[in-house]
A and B are shown apart, each in its own frame.
Chain A
């Protein structure tokens, strides 16, 4: 069974860079039918797509975050990663990684989520 697990610091200072890694187990991430994605959810609020990365390295980002987001993939470790720079309190959220289909038409496997708090 495919499983995804987020890892990274739970506390980040304002203006610094948030870094998270998603480790995939139970299957290979190297598939042309799927990509890895990040979705975040501020406390008490709705879901927001952050971006997605294909295993070729092609990336697609939310336009509202594009200037601050960088995603990468490491197929040798079955991992993909998220970096969000110049964070503010508004970036405080649970960050989920997910396996997404082409055209982002579905997200059928999700990590449990990682709460990242931006605070000094």
Chain B
């Protein structure tokens, strides 16, 4: 299975909004509303930020939001804060009953 496609890096200034894309196929992202997003700071385990495309777990800031159009899912972070600087990964359930991750996006807060 092929990894989902994410930009290698994005950046933004504090207070700005950024969007990270996650492109798959009709067999994964486009076929199911089972897309998740994870935030990972260096040396730590990933943290769930969004699940089922748009849902935020309890405790996750409402500055984080998710959406999907066709085969591309997106994570938007509004009001960027220095602590948002991290790696972000998307994942999706697939038609083969497997899970596939994106390659990851490094977010730099300028």
Contact = CB atoms under 8 A, between A and B. Distances in A.
Interface string B62-100: 000000000000000000000000000101010011111
Contacts of A52: 99
Interface string A60-72: 1111100000000
A104 B52 CA distance: 10
A49 to B, nearest CB: 4
B98 A108 contact: no
Contact of A101 (B32, B45, B51, B104): B51
Contacts of B51: 101, 105-106, 108
Nearest to B87: A46
Interface string A13-40: 0000000000000000000000001010
A47 B57 CA distance: 21
20 contacts: A37-B99, A46-B3, A48-B101, A49-B91, A49-B100, A61-B98, A62-B1, A63-B1, A64-B1, A100-B99, A103-B32, A104-B91, A105-B51, A106-B52, A107-B36, A107-B38, A107-B48, A108-B48, A108-B51, A113-B45
Interface of A: 37, 39, 46-49, 52, 60-64, 96, 100-101, 103-108, 110-113
Q: What 6 A-B pairs have minimum CB-CB distances, sorted nearest first?
A: A106-B51, A110-B45, A104-B99, A105-B34, A46-B104, A49-B99
